[in-house]
Amino acid sequence: MNEIYLDNATTTRVDQRALEEMKHYFTEEFAAPTGHFGHQASLDAKEKLEEARAIIAGSINAEPEEIVFTSGGTEANNLAIQGLIRSKKGKRHVVTTAIEHESVLNTFRALEKAGQVELTLVGVDKDGFVKVDELSSTLRSDTALCSVHLVNHEVGTVQPVAEIGRICEEKGVPFHVDAVHGWGYVPFNVGQMYVSLASLTAHKIHGPKGVGAMFRRKGLKLGSLMYGGYNEFELRPGMENLPGIVGMAKAISMIKPEHTARVGELRSKMWNSIDSSIPWVHLNGSADNGAPHILNVTFDYIEGESILLHLDMEGVAAATGSACFSKALEASYVLLAMGRPHEQAHGSMRFSFSRFNTTEEIDKSIKILKRVVTDLRKLSPLTPEED
């Protein structure tokens, strides 16, 4: 394991307090939380399940019965999008942005390929903000769904979700928000933001992997993706992951404003140090309206993959582009959509922070990063002479 972990937008360390809470439901209260069994063990488990549901619902100003537990954000996105389309007859029009997470983009593309939807992709500006006027003009009388994420997974731009939600509400279009990378870090109120559907996950906020949730506004009809029992309002059959759900509720309940503020300070410290000590760098995203835990920087004349490998050898974990996308040696589709040239899109690095990171780790990471960038640029024939 790396000495310094700056890849918290991919996944986070489970908080020890969440882990301790979960242990009890692996070995002590392990009964099925739903079922027709009627014994006390099952009733006790059901009570804990509903307590966790209420905590998670309260974190986004939803009602408990509007929360459906899933295996994570990807399943929640699929259930929201495919479930809504399955509830409609005929081919429907859908709208999303060019920089959504792959679990949203690839779901829409699969539906488009199957002839079930007509897909419109909306562009973004140079900082990654959705072009709201363009989005508004694409909404039609037959638009079945508009989907925009809360925070971009790669550059951290916080989208104007409330404004987009109000437009969708006025035009009668259901609005889905992939809130996976923003939940717990930026304000998210499904009522005030006119949200119809939303996706959440535990492992981005120091909860366990393999558990997430979908918000579905009361009265909105969805079709099932899987078939089985009647669990989770007949939308998600299968045994509920009670230990994971308990850990998810504990994780969101432990996030405090001071944690978010401190993470934001680490992000600012990292960027200010890079900007002041390393030449030919560019911030990708918004300096003022970015999520507090995500920093994306382009280092001209060298590739992000090379930086990543050298940082790893020095004990620092970071990422190039989004977590899923970095496995392909291609330019970031997010940065290309933001208008970055191919060379800059190849040279980007994402650093993401948590409340478990320290200022000492940031100081050490900057020293290592400066040395790595300097050494790599010496090997690059593209590097100009410094003034």
Question: For the segment 181-196, what is each residue's pLDDT rounded down to a tens digit?
Answer: 999 999 999 999 999 9
Domain boundary among 221, 237, 254: 254
pLDDT at 322: 43
Q: Is residue 321 part of a domain?
A: yes
Read off φ and ψ for residue 273, nearest 5 degrees.
Answer: -70, -40
Cβ neighbours for 196, distance < 8 A, ≥ 6 positions apart: 168, 174, 175, 176, 216, 217, 220
Q: Which amino acid is at 95?
A: V
Q: How confident is the model at residue 330 (pLDDT cuts 50, 70, 90)?
A: confident
Closest CA to 332 of 158, 124, 185, 181: 124
Domain assignment present for residue 201? The answer is: yes
Query: Residue 214, SS3?
Result: strand
Mean pLDDT over all residues of the chain? 93
Please report the pLDDT score of residue 35 as a whole number. Answer: 60
**Burial of residue 260, with CB atoms counted within 10 A of its CB: 0-12 exposed, 13-18 middle, 19 or more buried:** middle
The answer to the question of residue 151 being in a domain is: yes
Residue 297's domain is classified under what CATH number? 3.90.1150.10
Same domain, 241 and 332: no
Residue 116 placed within a domain? yes
Which tokens sit at 4? 């310094």
Q: How confident is the model at residue 325 (pLDDT cuts 50, 70, 90)?
A: very low
Do 246 and 272 lie in one domain? The reply is: no
Which burial class, exposed, middle or buried, applies to 276 when counting CB atoms under 10 A from its CB (0-12, 13-18, 19+)?
exposed
168 labelled catalytic: no
Residue 387 maps to a domain: no
Stronger pLDDT, 230 or 289, i.e. the higher one: 289
Residues 98 and 158 both lie in one domain: yes
> Active site residue: 220, 324, 337, 368, which one?
324
Please indicate, yes or no, whether residues 54 and 87 belong to a single structural domain of this protein. Answer: yes
Residue with tokens 């997470």: 101
**Percentage of the chain modeled with pLDDT above 90:** 80
pTM listed for this prediction:
0.94
CA angle 244, 250, 255 (to 5 degrees): 130
Q: What is the mean pLDDT of residues 24-43?
A: 81
Domain endpoint, select from 254, 270, 285:
254
Q: Which domain holds residue 228?
A: 16-254
Domain count across the chain: 2
Rounded mean pLDDT, 122-140: 97
Identify the pLDDT of residue 321: 64
Residue 131 phi, psi dihedral angles, 5° rounding = -80, 95
For the cut 50, the answer to whether the pLDDT of residue 326 exceeds it is: no
Among 228, 254, 280, residue at a domain's last position: 254
